[in-house]
Each structure stands twice: as structure tokens, then as C-alpha cells.
Amino acid sequence: MDLKNNKDTFNQLLDKINPVAKEDILELNSKIQAFRSEEIDAEKFRAYRLVRGVYGQRQEGVQMIRIKLPYGKVSPEQLIRIADVSDEYASRNLHLTTRQDIQIHFVKLEDAPYVWAKLEEVGVTLREACGNTVRNITASSLAGIDPKEPFDVTPYAHAHFEYFLRNPICQDMGRKFKMAFSSSEEDSAFAFMHDIGFIPKIKIENGKEIRGFKVLVGGGLGAQPFLAQTAYEFLPEDKIIPFTEAVLRVFDRYGERAKRNKARLKYLIQSIGLGEFMRLVQGEQKALKTKSYLYDFSKISPEPIPVKTSFVIETPEDEKKYSAWLKTNVFEQKQKGYFGVNVKQHLGDMSSDTARAFADVVKKFASDDLRITVNQGWLLKFVHEKELPALFNALNKLGLAEPGFDSTADITACPGTDTCNLGISSSTGIAAALEKMLLEEYPDIIFNKNIKIKISGCMNACGQHTIGNIGFHGMSIKNGNLVLPAMQVMLGGGLEPDGTGSLGDKIIKLPSKRCVQAVRLILDDYKTNASEGEYFNNYYRRKTAEDKMYFYKLLKPLAELSNLTPDDYIDWGHTEKYVTEVGIGECAGVMLDLVGTLINETEEMLNWSIKAYQRQTYADAIYSAYTTFVRGAKALLTSENVNCNTQIGIINDFDKYLVSTGKFPIEGQTFTELVLRMNQEEPTKEFATLYLEQAKDFVSRIKAYRKEKVLVNEQS
């Protein structure tokens, strides 16, 4: 849609949505126009649009729009709107992600504001779906109906989403930040692999039930995965948002910023140790906006049990398939007489036409609380037992009643080389080939939920290959002057029966076309050599203990390059010869060191602080003023050719190179003392007033300093 020629339509739409989102969307539209007219640098614009969910694709000139759906919740009406938007502006396809988002692809940049506005009309946002901020907060899809849960974690996940959306402490961190809430100690949301993970617990004190969470910190996948460490075995419910805020403040100040591959929380904790990290977190307590967060449970009320007086009674149209579907995709909720129904979604891709038809089925048979699962599927809630056959028939007509949800045959895969700049070899193509082989040759594998196969197109683990019992990530192999698509095979990752997590081990690199045979060999060996009922990872560890090269030797013949065929040089799902094409990743913003740009950003941060002060949100005003100091300091240090990789480094170096040398004196104190008062004072109006005035004065001085230096350079 040409917004310039459709201003009236666009403005009418904006008038229907909340004012804060409207301001966001108008700003995005303005930034796009400024970028097109070359008023904004491409890298600065990229960092800006990522935080608004607009992500560049492998294909030039089009964008992927990531739709942020906290804990994967989407109503049928919202799903229909997303499908309609995809029809009008994207590729008529909806892609479900392992972060419980929905992505649409091939969107023109100029259409992004209108897409956002259309989605905001039904309560869906793009804000902070990408970029260096708090990403979509995930949670067990079972939350609220899980028979094993101590309590429903949904209100807590929702509160975190609301509290940190547009929060100044996490708008421009060194890297992205991920959180998850599991519904029970089985950790089905994989808290163990997140920056912060929460597992619900209950304590009884003086006969009173107290809710809280086990808190894990510093987990992450990617090229160098880490299991999260335990920060608290039990933290009372009112303390988890203050704790999260303090963690984000520490990560923002001490986290790496120059070396992008080291800019996650896991590296900071590895570098300074958990004890020192927790000491820094504790040091933020006085300055926190909220010391004890009281939840408004009315925002996420308990799911009402649908009131039905009549039921759709049918006979299953395929009795054998229905029987398998009941065993693998259906379970009884903690609300007796009602059932949760999981839907296996092949590679997470659903056409917009199917999405609309699916939404109608949900409205007919289930509650409006539809959830996207972490393995790229769906969960329907509150299906009455009497209507299970009719629901099966309706789903089957749409191709959505395939048995084997979350089984070995339900493979997780990122889009890889289909759309992502970082994809090295096809993840979706090999996933489709593997699923076909498994269903044909191992038909009973749909009942096996102990072996998960996960595939990523590169080492960055969007397909979570690191926590697959069998995992693959894309790469390439050189054979003389030729290059062929390949996969790194990993074994032994995943969720253990006791709820703990394990990371897979690298075994061997294989040509992609031989990985189907590799899975055959692994499964056949497991069937032959595993003990009765032995969990796959236990079998893997036992065989590796006997011979650490066991699986390498098993798969080594497939790595032989002397007997390659022409087909090995063609990737799965392709007909042309393989060529390595890796672009620039967009998983986070890019650092800009242009002094003028940094000073402009400093003024922008100061304006944020002023606006927050005017709204009387004094903690936000203080933090934005703090960011103003840091940005301004970085600008002048850059002009002095001093490079810094953390905020605390910038603060210390400003004292070293500018204050102590007399180039930029600060009366009566050091720059460090001035700036770090922000975490030593209560966030009162009085302190906010003083700190903001000091920030205003600092900005005036750095602008004057910069102007004088430019003048001297021009005269010399």
C-alpha cells in the first residue's frame, strides 16, 4: 500500500488503535521515509527497524515481519487478521517459530507500518520482536491446563511482557534477551536454555501457601551453548519482576557491546562468575522502579470453561488414524472432562487459507485461548470429550490431524536458506526428507516422544539443534575446488526425564544428502543396542563411555568424499548446484561509531528522559538520563579514537581520557560518581529532577566540545 496516496485510510486505521502504538507506527513510517531519502544511515535504520519487528530477508528488497505473541497466545480473530494481512502484504503463509511468534515474509518495507496498524487493531504488536531488547517471552503452552502445574504461570509471563515492553532499561542493550516460564518442574518451556528462566514452586510457611519460582540465569544456545545456572531455588512471586529488572540493568551496563558474538548474558556471567553477577544485581535494588510487584490477575483471568448445552456428535472418518491421534495428540486437562488437543504443523508453515479455516474450527470446538507451541505446532484447549471425533474430522479435512505431535517424526526446523541471511544449508528441505523417511520406514515412531530431531540452517540455533537428541546445523564442505552442502551432526541434547537440560555433542560433519542415512544408522543402532526402556540420551552416554569415538565411527563412512555423486552437490529442496551464500545477520543491531550520529542519539535519549519526567515516571526518566550520559561519553571517546566495549568501560574511560586529562573537567566529582548515582538513589522526583538537569548540562557541554574540536580540525 502506498501510504502517501492513502493517508486518509491510514489515519482512519490509526485512530482505532491505542495512542502509544499509534505513535510507534507513525514514527516507523517517518523513519522509513527518512531512510529512503538518505537522511538516515542504513545501519542506524536497521537497528531501529529491528526493534519494530521488521527484519531483512535473504531476498533483497523485502522484509520478514515478526509478530510478537507473548507465551504464544493468539485468538481465532487475531489469527484470521494475521492471515488476511499475509494475503494482502506478504506471501500468503504464516510461519510458527520456536519462540512462539508468527512470521510473515516478503513484505515491502513501505507496507510495514500499515501491517503493524492492521495487527494492532486486534491487539497484536510487532514492538521488540527483534533487535537488542527483550524478545518474545515464551511459556509452556500447557500453562493453565497442565495437570502437573502448581499454578498457572500465564499471568506472570503476561506481566513480564507488559512491564518490559518499551521499558527504557532494555531498548538498546548489547544483544537480545530471552525469558521463559515453564508450567512445572518438567521444564517444557526449556527454562534451562534462556537468559532468565522461571519454574513455578509452592512453599508452605505457617500453614500458608506461598507462590514463587526457581530462577535460572545465563542459559543460551548458538555457537557456544551454556546451560543456565540457578540464581534462586525459590524466589517469591512479587520479587521476580524486580529481579529481572535488576538483571537487565546489569546486563545493559556490563555486557559486551563491540564483539557481537560475545554480547549475551551467558558470557558476562561466565566472565565474572555467578557470585559477582548476583552481587551486581543486588546493588541495583535501591534504584529499582518496583521493589515488590503485585500482579493484576484480572488481566489474565482463569480460562472459563465453555458452557455448552449441545454437542457435535460424529463418528471418526478414519478409525485407525483417529486412534493414533488420540494417543499422540490428545490429553486430559486438569479440568476434568476437558481435553487439550495438539496439532502437528509441518515445519511450522500454514497457508493463510488454512489458517482462516483452522480459526473457524477452533471457535467451534475449543476456547479462544489458542497457543503456539515451542515445537512449531498448536494447542487447542477445553475441547469436550464428546466432540473429539468431530474435531478430528474437521482437522483431518484441513490436513491438521496427523498423529505424532512432538514425536521423533515431528521435526523442528528454522526457515534456514529459504529466507534467512545466515542460512548456510537447507534446514527445511532436509527436515521434509527426514520426516518422509521416518513415516515410511519407521511408522511406529509417531509414538516415540523420547527422541527429538531439531535442525538449524546455521550454528545460531534458531531451530534449537543444540537441544535435540539428534541435532543438525547447516554448514558446507570443500572438496577440492568444489563446495557441497553439509550438516554438523550432534547427539545427546534435550530435556532429560528429570526436567534438567542437556546440550548435544558434536559428532561429525556430513554431506547434507547423506544425513537421512545417518538417522537410519543411529535409530537402528539404538533399537539394537539400547536396553529395555532406555532413554536415548542414556544410551548415547553409555555407548560413548564405552568408546568415546563410537558414534563417530558409526557415521564415518558417510563422511567419505571420494565417492561423492553429482546429487551430493545439490541441496535438499533445490535443483541447482549448491553455492555458499551467507549474508549479514540481523539478529541484533549494528554498532555505529560516527560521532555525529552518536551525538544525535544522545539528544534523542535526553528527549526520552524529558518525556518520561513529564509523565511522572521518574525511574524511567532517570534511566534514560543515564543512557544519555553513556551515549554522550561514547561520542566524545570516539572522537578521541578510544574504543569501548561495555557501558561501564565507557564510563571509566571517560574519566581516564577526558576528565583526568583536563579536556572535559567535571566539578567536584568524577564522571563515574556522577553517572552511577543512578543506582545508588531511590527513583524519587527530587533525584530525577537533579539527574535530568545534570544530563541536560552534559549534553550542552559535549555539543560545545564537539563543535570546538571540529572548528580546530577545519583550521589546522
Question: Cα 532 to the chain's mean position, in Å?
Answer: 38
Domain containing residue 692: CATH number: 1.20.120.330
Indicate whether 563 and 610 sit together in one domain: no
CATH classification of the domain holding 450: 3.30.413.10
In a domain, 255, yes or no: yes
233 pLDDT band (50/70/90 cuts)? very high
Q: Rounded distance, CA 101 to CA 122, Å?
A: 16
pLDDT confidence bin for 116, thresholds 50/70/90 = very high
The full length of the chain comes to 716
pLDDT at position 587 is 53
Checking if the pLDDT of 156 tops 90, the result is yes
390 plus 451 within the same structural domain = no
Residue 247 one-letter amino acid: V
> Would you say 194 and 219 are in contact if contact means Cβ atoms under 8 Å apart?
yes
Q: For residue 492, what is the DSSP state?
A: S
Q: Which residues of 292-306 are buried (b: 16+ CB within 10 A; e: fewer)?
A: ebebeeeebeebeee
CA separation for the pair 216, 214 (Å, rounded): 7
pLDDT per residue as tens digits for the range 242-255: 999 999 999 999 99
171 and 115, same domain (yes or no): no
Q: Look at residues 36, 33, 35 and name the one whose alpha carbon lies nearest to residue 10.
A: 33
For residue 653 the three cell numbers come to 574511560
Measured distance CA(578)–CA(572) in Å, rounded: 10
Strand partners, 472: 455, 489
Do 620 and 644 lie in one domain? The reply is: yes
Assigned domain for 589 exists: no
- In percent, the amount of the chain with pLDDT more than 70 equals 95
Mark whether 221 and 334 lie in a shared domain. no
CB 441 within 8 A of CB 476: no
In single-letter form, the type of residue at position 42 comes to A
SS3 content of the chain, % helix, strand, coil (to 5): 45, 15, 35
User: To which H or E segment does residue 545 belong?
Assistant: helix 536-546
Whether residues 565 and 417 share a domain: the answer is: yes
DSSP 369-435: -EEE-TTS-EEEEEEEGGGHHHHHHHHHHTT---S-TTSTTS-EE--GGGT-TT--S-SHHHHHHHH
d(CA 252, CA 173): 5
Q: Taking all residues of the chain, what is their mean pLDDT, rounded to a whole number?
A: 92
Edge-to-edge strand ranges of the sheet holding 196-205: 138-139, 179-181, 196-205, 208-217, 229-236
**pLDDT (0 to 100) of residue 596:** 78
Residue 264, φ and ψ in degrees, nearest 5: -100, 160
Q: Which of 253, 287, 255, 285 is nearest to 268 (CA)?
A: 255
Separation CA 505–CA 469 (nearest Å): 10
Percent residues over pLDDT 90 in the chain: 83
Look up the CATH number of the domain holding residue 69: 3.90.480.20
CATH number at residue 354: 3.30.70.3340
Question: Residue 87 has which C-alpha cell?
Answer: 494475503
* 298/176: higher pLDDT: 176
pLDDT exceeds 50 at position 226: yes
74 in Cβ contact with 102 (< 8 Å): yes
Segments forming the whole domain that contains residue 443: 412-569
Burial of residue 373 (number of CB atoms within 10 Å: 0-12, 13-18, 19+) = buried
Q: Is residue 96 part of a domain?
A: yes
Q: What is the value of pTM for the model shown?
A: 0.92
Pair 608, 703 in one domain: yes
Q: Are residues 344 and 433 in the same domain?
A: no
Q: Are residues 349 and 441 in the same domain?
A: no
Q: What is the pLDDT of residues 295-333, one digit of tens each?
A: 887 766 665 676 777 889 999 999 999 999 999 999 999
Query: Comparing C-alpha atoms, which of 3, 107, 19 is closest to residue 63?
Result: 107
Name the domain count of the chain.
5
User: Residue 260 has what pLDDT?
Assistant: 82
Cell numbers for 431, please give them. 527436515
